[in-house]
Copies of this chain bind each other. A is one copy, B any other.
Amino acid sequence: MRILVKADMAYRFDVPSEVLLQIEAARTPIQTVMREALTISPGLALHRKDDLYTGERRVMFAAQGLVEIAYEAEVARSDTVAPLAGLTQMAVHVLPAEVLPYLNASYYCPSIRFQSFVLREFGNLRGGDAAAAILSWIAQNIDYRACVSDSQTTALDTFVDRAGVCRDFAHLAISLCRAVGIPARAVSAFACELDPPDMHAVAELYLDGSWRLIDPTGKAPLAGLVRVATGRDAADIAFMSIYGQGELVRQSFAAEPLEARAAA
């Protein structure tokens, strides 16, 4: 599947600030970037912080005044999405070393606070069955609603408030999965059919020997996701981290399947 993704952003920096930008499509075995263009105006010295191991792309720059950012890419994805149910939960001692940290609590995903809950609610399930039950519990118990959460909201808050946006859903799903012993991490992605269009926050679970993409909100088809960044929680995958002060001027993200457009 070929997907066209676009980002258009403008921020004003009244004091000298530094910016970490994570909006470029990752280059992975199942995601090929056919062409892309990143334009930052005015021209600034760009410092690449790409992760060669994961293929994730990051760029930093020092900013002052108005900065406009445009990104466009055509991405080919060959992912096949398997149902979670039935997938094996691997014994911890056979997990790859780099997967182990994703079992630990992180700031937004305080999984150790949910161990009693998951034992009670999902204690008889393992692996993909437990993950599917967790996603079903979230779908039944958490409402998608803006303005109930902010940048400090953790999965514990969302568990109590029973509402949030995509990053809150991702944090709660990650927390509950880690609590049952399934490695889980946060993923940012362009998303086809997301309404309203935005950068999406989803998650990945390590089951049966590989990372499996899930969308705890159920708002976007998995096959239409273009992966950008991966991390322990929202802090690691923010599309823009500002060290200093920045003010949003405008911002939009879009993704659409190219075949569909070609066929039209």
Chain A interface (Cβ within 8 Å of chain B)?
18-20, 47, 49-51, 58, 60-62, 91-94, 96-97, 100-101, 104-107, 109-110, 112-114, 116-117, 120-121, 143, 148, 151-152, 156, 159-163, 181, 231-232, 235-236, 243
Contact = CB atoms under 8 A, between A and B. Distances in A.
Nearest to A151: B112
Given A93-B61, A107-B106, A161 B117 contact: yes
Contacts of A116: 148, 160-163
Contacts of A60: 92-93
Contacts of A51: 97
Contact of A100 (B49, B91, B100, B162): B49
A92 B20 contact: yes
A73 to B, nearest CB: 20
A104 B233 CA distance: 10
A91 B112 contact: no
B93 A62 contact: yes
Contacts of A105: 107, 235
Top 7 A-B pairs, shortest CB-CB distance? A60-B93, A49-B97, A104-B235, A105-B107, A18-B92, A116-B161, A92-B243
Given A18-B92, A112-B151, 4 more contacts: A104-B235, A106-B106, A120-B162, A121-B162
A101 B160 contact: no
Contacts of A104: 107, 235-236
12 contacts: A18-B92, A49-B96, A58-B100, A101-B236, A104-B107, A107-B107, A107-B110, A112-B152, A120-B162, A156-B160, A181-B243, A232-B232
A181 B242 CA distance: 11
A45 to B, nearest CB: 8
A100 to B, nearest CB: 6
A124 to B, nearest CB: 15
A119 B39 CA distance: 34
Contacts of A161: 116-117
> Of residues A107, A120, A152, A159, which shows the largest number of chain B Cβ atoms within 10 Å of its Cβ?
A107
Contacts of A152: 112-113
Nearest to A156: B160
Given A107-B110, A116-B148, A47 B93 contact: yes
